[in-house]
Amino acid sequence: MAKPIMAKATAVWLVDNTTISFKQIADFVGMHELEIQGIADGDVAQGVKGFDPISNNQLTQEEIDAAQNSPLHKLRLKFNAAAAGEEKRRGPRYTPLSKRQDRPASILWLVKFHPELSDGQVSKLIGTTKPTIQAIRERTHWNIANIQPIDPVALGLCKQSELDQAVQKANAKKAADGIMSDEERRKLVSTEQSLGMEAEPKIPTAIAGLETFSLSGATEKDDENEEAVPDADSFFNLPSGNDSDDE
């Protein structure tokens, strides 16, 4: 359910100007019931000026009256046709200030391990600008020497499902454009499939073919070599000098 703007200030106004229960107010503004009780006790939202939801086109007086007459009635935000579709807003996502310093590291990680992603996809995933992405791609960023690649999922800048979806979309576009090899197509598996695969045994190329080598073959070769080597005694049984003189 949609929540009102300036939720805490709206809660202050409802506590001060209505007899609506704490539970009803909490459900409407998206706060905990104990927070609403704290507002009523003066422990929470001290100094916050109340925000009138009626004059600001968020509630009607009829809706407030219905909530005051029935503790089970749930307050509903007044429909505003001008606000329809605002949640589907396009463009880079908002990144909290505490995490904005981690964006260059995430950009470098995406550029390094997922070069198939376009600048627009990277921008949408972690909420950055295309000039920043281009500077990191070209290694012209002012702090490029100190940036270490870090997975944006680990930093909380995006979800694993969002990253997987972006990568699959980029690979699908690449395949449709005919610039993907057969080997790359075979590698296009989801994260769940790749985690469930067993590791394939591999033989180093330097000793490839040795698996067909048998001990019996080695013995046969040794026997042939032994037969080919002449007897050492034959070197000492040379014709004598007397025999040559008699001839």
For the chain, the 3-state helix, strand and coil shares in percent, each to the nearest 5, are 55, 0, 45
Spell out the alpha helix ranges (H) of the chain. 7-17, 22-29, 33-41, 61-69, 103-113, 119-126, 130-137, 152-155, 160-176, 182-186, 191-196, 215-228, 241-246
Lowest mean pLDDT across 70-74, 161-165, 211-215: 211-215
Condensed to tens digits (0 to 9), the pLDDT of residues 114-156 reads 999 999 999 888 888 899 999 999 999 999 999 999 988 888 8
Helix 7-17 and helix 22-29: axis angle, to 10°? 160
Condensed to tens digits (0 to 9), the pLDDT of residues 95-121 reads 565 567 888 999 999 999 999 999 999
Spatial separation of the C-alpha atoms in residues 108 and 100, rounded to whole Å: 14
- Which residue range(s) make up the domain with 136? 97-175
pTM given for the model: 0.39
Q: How many domains does the chain have?
A: 2
Could you say which of 83, 112, 143 is where a domain stops? 83
Given a contact cutoff of 8 angstroms between Cβ atoms, the answer to whether 21 and 71 are in contact is yes
C-alpha 117: how far from chain center: 12
pLDDT at 208: 47
Give the CB-side neighbour count of residue 141, counting CA atoms within 13 A: 22
Could you say which of 112, 147, 175 is where a domain stops? 175
Spatial separation of the C-alpha atoms in residues 99 and 6, rounded to whole Å: 24
The answer to whether residue 204 sits within a structural domain is no
Given a contact cutoff of 8 angstroms between Cβ atoms, the answer to whether 132 and 143 are in contact is no
> Is the pLDDT score of 207 beyond 80?
no
Residue 37 sits in the same domain as residue 78: yes
Residue 46 sits in the same domain as residue 103: no
